[in-house]
Structure 1
Amino acid sequence: MAELTELFVTDATSHLAALREGIEREDAGSVERSAHTLKGSSGNMGATVMSRISSELQDAGRSGDLTGARELLTRLQAEFGRVREALEAEKTIP
């Protein structure tokens, strides 16, 4: 489980950076792809709020309307911080 957790955190960090870059470049396709990947991986980890926000970003990318995407990214980053803390806490449970 520890390896899966580390892989999730590493991949999520990378996809969050890709989302940030995609939003800055107004690259809706990039936003859609990165958000889609995060939606799936966070859902698989049980991070339902993170998955839902990723889904909203994916929809924004698909529609080509990135209005509000920065706010969604801010919410997603905050939720990822909470998820990461929870996963780290689980690693310390015997």
Structure 2
Amino acid sequence: MEIRNVYEELGQENYSAVKDRFCGNENLLAKFVVKFLQDPTFQNLEGSVNEGDRQGIEMNAHTLKGVAGNLGFCILQSVCADLVDCIRSGNDDQIPELFERVKNTYTNIIHVIEKLD
């Protein structure tokens, strides 16, 4: 699978814009997308959720939102933003549901990235 196909399979319609962020260099984009597999932010977020650490949840969800946005993973960016907003507005009862959405979206992205050549 090529990098363009990752974005197509994920239903991201912004491939050209993302590629432009990397000066049109698909190899450079692919390098950073593969590095996403080693990024510890999701695991840190999951740990914060399991520990009930509101500050950790906010920080890690915000960080993951930024990384997702930079790589053009707009759906992940959006669900992370919802989780950040939930924490900031004090709606702690929504954390489990929103984290589950983040987790499902993240897991899907990881499975697709792992198909890269």
Q: TM-score, with normalisation over the residues of structure 2?
A: 0.65
Q: Which residue in the other structure is 1:33 paired with?
A: 59
Q: More helix per residue: 1 or 2?
A: 1
Q: CA deviation at 1:24?
A: 2.4
Q: Is 1:8 aligned to 2:61, yes or no? A: no
Structure-1 separation of matches of 2:92 and 2:34: 30
* 1:82–1:24 distance in 2 versus 1, CA, 3 Å: closer
- Residues 39 and 52, structure 1, Cα contact 8 Å, conserved in 2: yes
Residue aligned with 2:87, SS: helix
Cα RMSD of the aligned pairs, angstroms, is 1.7
- The residue correspondences of 1:39-54 to structure 2 (distance < 5 A) are 39-54=65-80
Q: Deviations over 1:50-80 (max 9, x none)?
A: 1001001111222343212122122111111
Q: Which residue in the other structure is 2:97 paired with?
A: 71
| Structure 1, gaps ≥5 residues long | none
Structure-2 separation of matches of 1:33 and 1:73: 14
Q: TM-score, with normalisation over the residues of structure 1?
A: 0.79
Structure-2 separation of matches of 1:63 and 1:36: 14
| Structure 2, gaps ≥5 residues long | 1-28
When the two structures are aligned, how many residues end up with a matched partner?
89
**Identical-residue share of aligned pairs (%):** 27
